[in-house]
Amino acid sequence: MAKFALETIRHSASHLMAAAILELYPDVKFDIGPSTEDGFYYDFDFGTTKLTTEDLEKIEAKMTEIADKKLPFERIELSREEALKLLSEKKQNFKVERLADIPEGEAISFYRCGKFIDLCRGPHVDNTGDIGAFKLTSIAGSYYRGKESNPMLTRIYGTAFADKKELKAYLMQIEEAKKRDHRRLGKDLDLFSISETVGPGLVLWHPRGGFIRNTLETFWRKEHYENGYDLLYTPHIGRSNLWETSGHLGFYKDSMYSPMEIDEIDYFAKPMNCPFHIEVYKSRVRSYRELPCRWAELGTVYRYEKSGVLHGLMRVRGFTQDDAHIICTPEQIESEIEDVLNFCLHIWKTFQFKEIKAYLSTRPEKAVGDPARWEQAQKSLVNAIEKSGLAYEVDEGGGAFYGPKIDLKVKDAIGREWQTSTIQFDFNLPERFQINYIGEDGQRHQPYMVHRALFGSLERFFGILIEHFAGAFPAWLAPEQIRMIPITEKQHEYCLNATRELKKAGFRVECDTRSESMGAKIKDARMQRVPFMAVVGEKEMQSNTFAIRSRREDQLGQMDLATFMKKLQNEVDNKL
Ligand SMILES: [Zn+2]
Ligand SMILES: [Zn+2]
């Protein structure tokens, strides 16, 4: 066991950084410096001084100097008056405001480390030598208290670990992640773009990205029909009374866009598909005999996200959920949940994600719905997870007020975890919309309702896939599967004929007839992550073959077209 928790080390590193900055920039004003999921940051006001990434090195050197001195973190408790006096003397106006946030009666503690003294709750490591290894990573602007009307501060990010080895492994992962950044690959591979003219957070799918999306959708639809789902299509907007009934205008309004008016009635772009599916259910009387309803839709929704949090495909304002709702009887719920979870796992394995972990969130204190139903719902979730053999964690009381849920997190090729599928019970909407079915007893009963998404959204899933495969999509997803490379003009006709044959057989192939060298053509095909190259020179033409190179296995030797097609078809069929 490490001596200190990682977050304690990281938070202490933020003090260390602040101490170094105080020495280098004596007039700096401090805001706060918490630890984060992968490091720490501290917000500063440097006045008119502008910091660049080059300054980070200097700050790091100063941090090392202080760390080596093994200066202790000393806790000092002050009265509110004393604290105010100290901070005012140091002209730390942000800290004065933060002091006012501390409730009456709570201890006001400061931590001193060398010359730097900070208003802080703690805890910290014992001395600056306990911060094993650290690195400053970036600089960004950040509004004081996250509010755009407040002054812009300078946020410096860093990370820290218990030792140098862990830091090194983390930094290598970051390097690898940069190479795989879906925003960069999206541009290099011409997959998608986001245009300021169209609007931030709104994705334009280019032909190559569009091809992949179409392949994903086709796969998704086929799998859903095979797993007993029906597909729905519902509109993008719905009138205000729908969203009042659903409760969205009550608790979700901040994430919805302003309405548009049609015939003097407000219509809202949908942030969710559920109310529409419920209206399909309510379109007539339902009998227990037709349950379960498993209704899926690739439904495009619009949600407001602050411009500061938008991020490539990962966080957007318009996206297509691979949504589904299961409406069933209490007797059916257990096997339905089991099926959904297995369906999820099948999907993730198809895309070559091997490590999957489940997170179960249970009933919070404030909740709607019958406690007995919560009990049954949670039991069905636990049973399904245990039968699947997945590792899982329980967030006791961490569920939404309307029902318990399972979230899945998958690990990608470089070990990063992504939150993806969700299986979420809902005791709220069936109540609000008064949905029911006629049971065997001839009486009306309230069904169970479950929301679930496998990919999450197509946009985010695509982003994850780009990074997971580093743009090198398996042949079944690759927008271009084969690049035909004639070495000289003499082979053009031969190659163009083969290109036509391959296209006729349903493969996606391009022929590079530019007057570039073979080396340059191969390099370009590699850059575009094309799974196979078919190089043709005099020798291949004579023997009626192709020199096949695979992105994965390199040189595969000479093959005739039929043999190559068979190999390719095998990769496609097995989604290799
Ligand atoms: Zn602290
Ligand atoms: Zn839903």
Report how far ligand 1's centroid is from the alpha carbon of 20 (Å): 15
Ligand closest to the CA atom of residue 301: 2
Region 139-143: mean pLDDT is: 94
pLDDT of residue 472 exceeding 90, the answer is yes
Q: Are residues 363 and 448 in the same domain?
A: yes
- Amino acid residing at 79: S
CATH of the domain at 17: 3.30.980.10
Region 351-370: mean pLDDT is: 94
Contact call for residues 288 and 443 (beta carbons, < 8 A): no
User: Would 178 be classed as within a structural domain?
Assistant: no
Ligand closest to the CA atom of residue 124: 1
Q: How confident is the model at residue 2 (pLDDT cuts 50, 70, 90)?
A: low
Contact call for residues 304 and 318 (beta carbons, < 8 A): no
Report how far ligand 2's centroid is from the alpha carbon of 274 (Å): 4
Contact call for residues 448 and 377 (beta carbons, < 8 A): yes
What does the pLDDT read at residue 554?
Answer: 82
Instruction: Tell me the per-residue pLDDT of 496-527, one tens digit each, with 9 for 90 and over.
Output: 999 999 999 999 999 999 999 999 999 999 99
User: Would 254 be classed as within a structural domain?
Assistant: no
Of 431, 432, 436, 426, residue with least CA distance to 286? 436
Beta strands in 257-317 (DSSP E): 260-262, 265-269, 293-302
What does the pLDDT read at residue 3?
Answer: 82
Ordered alpha helix ranges (H), 28-134: 53-68, 80-89, 93-101
pLDDT of residue 233 exceeding 90, the answer is yes
Report how far ligand 2's centroid is from the alpha carbon of 431 (Å): 14
Least confident residue range of 244-248, 457-461, 549-553, 556-560? 549-553
Q: Which long-range contacts (CB under 8 A, 24 or more apart) does 37-40 make?
A: 38/159, 38/170, 39/10, 39/137, 39/157, 39/158, 39/159, 39/160, 40/10, 40/11, 40/13, 40/14, 40/157, 40/158, 40/159, 40/160
Of 265, 421, 281, 438, residue with least CA distance to 337? 421
Ligand closest to the CA atom of residue 321: 2
Mean pLDDT of the chain: 95
Report how far ligand 2's centroid is from the alpha carbon of 429 (Å): 9
CATH of the domain at 567: 3.40.50.800
> What SS3 state is found at 128?
helix
Say how far apart CA 6 and CA 275 lie, in whole Å.
44
Instruction: Tell me the per-residue pLDDT of 377-417, one tens digit each, with 9 for 90 and over.
Output: 999 999 999 999 999 999 999 999 999 999 999 999 888 89
- 410-437 burial, b at 16+ Cβ within 10 Å, e below that, comes to bebebebebebbbbbbbbbbbbbbebbb
Residue 287 sits at the vertex; the CA angle it makes with 282 and 289, to the nearest 5 degrees, is 130
User: Would 429 be classed as within a structural domain?
Assistant: yes
Q: DSSP assignment, residue 268?
A: E
In which region does residue 95 sit, left (phi positive, over 0), alpha (psi from -120 to 50) or beta (all else)?
alpha
Q: Are residues 15 and 135 in the same domain?
A: yes
Gyration radius of the chain's alpha carbons: 29
Ligand closest to the CA atom of residue 422: 2
Q: Are residues 424 and 524 in the same domain?
A: no
Q: Are residues 119 and 193 in the same domain?
A: no
Of 219, 475, 451, 211, residue with least CA distance to 346? 219
- For the chain, what is the domain count? 3
Q: How confident is the model at residue 576 (pLDDT cuts 50, 70, 90)?
A: confident
Count of beta carbons in the 10 Å neighbourhood of residue 463: 26
Report how far ligand 2's centroid is from the alpha carbon of 506 (Å): 37
Q: Does the predicted TM-score (pTM) go above 0.95?
A: no
User: Would 250 be classed as within a structural domain?
Assistant: no
What does the pLDDT read at residue 210?
Answer: 98
Region 284-310: mean pLDDT is: 96
pLDDT of residue 182 exceeding 90, the answer is yes
Residue pointed to by tokens 């470089």: 414
pLDDT of residue 1 exceeding 60, the answer is no
Q: Are residues 20 and 166 in the same domain?
A: yes
Q: Are residues 312 and 378 in the same domain?
A: yes
Ligand closest to the CA atom of residue 121: 1
CATH of the domain at 202: 3.30.930.10
Of 485, 481, 459, residue with least CA distance to 472? 481
User: Would 249 be classed as within a structural domain?
Assistant: no
Q: Are residues 277 and 420 in the same domain?
A: yes
What does the pLDDT read at residue 105?
Answer: 87
State which of 441, 468, 495 marks the end of a domain.
Answer: 468
State which of 140, 170, 200 marks the end of a domain.
Answer: 170
Q: Are residues 218 and 309 in the same domain?
A: yes
Ligand closest to the CA atom of residue 271: 2
Say how far apart CA 375 and CA 544 lie, in whole Å.
68
Instruction: Tell me the per-residue pLDDT of 74-126, one tens digit each, with 9 for 90 and over.
Output: 999 999 999 999 999 999 999 999 999 999 989 999 999 989 999 999 899 99
Q: Are residues 26 and 66 in the same domain?
A: yes
Q: Are residues 457 and 496 in the same domain?
A: no
- Amino acid residing at 257: Y
User: Would 477 be classed as within a structural domain?
Assistant: no
Q: Are residues 422 and 536 in the same domain?
A: no
Of 216, 178, 117, 155, residue with least CA distance to 459? 216
Region 336-362: mean pLDDT is: 95
Ordered alpha helix ranges (H), 444-535: 458-468, 492-504, 518-527
Report how far ligand 1's centroid is from the alpha carbon of 124 (Å): 6
State which of 170, 198, 225 marks the end of a domain.
Answer: 170
Report how far ligand 2's centroid is from the alpha carbon of 273 (Å): 6
Report how far ligand 1's centroid is from the alpha carbon of 308 (Å): 26
Report how far ligand 2's centroid is from the alpha carbon of 201 (Å): 22
Q: Are residues 493 and 554 in the same domain?
A: yes
Instruction: Tell me the per-residue pLDDT of 319-339, one tens digit each, with 9 for 90 and over.
Output: 999 999 999 999 999 999 999
What does the pLDDT read at residue 553?
Answer: 73
Report how far ligand 2's centroid is from the alpha carbon of 416 (Å): 27
Q: How confident is the model at residue 552 (pLDDT cuts 50, 70, 90)?
A: confident
The range of the structural domain enclosing residue 422 comes to 187-234+270-468
As annotated, the active-site residues are 274, 303, 321, 323, 325, 405, 451
User: Would 547 be classed as within a structural domain?
Assistant: yes
Say how far apart CA 407 and CA 424 lie, in whole Å.
8
pLDDT of residue 200 exceeding 80, the answer is yes
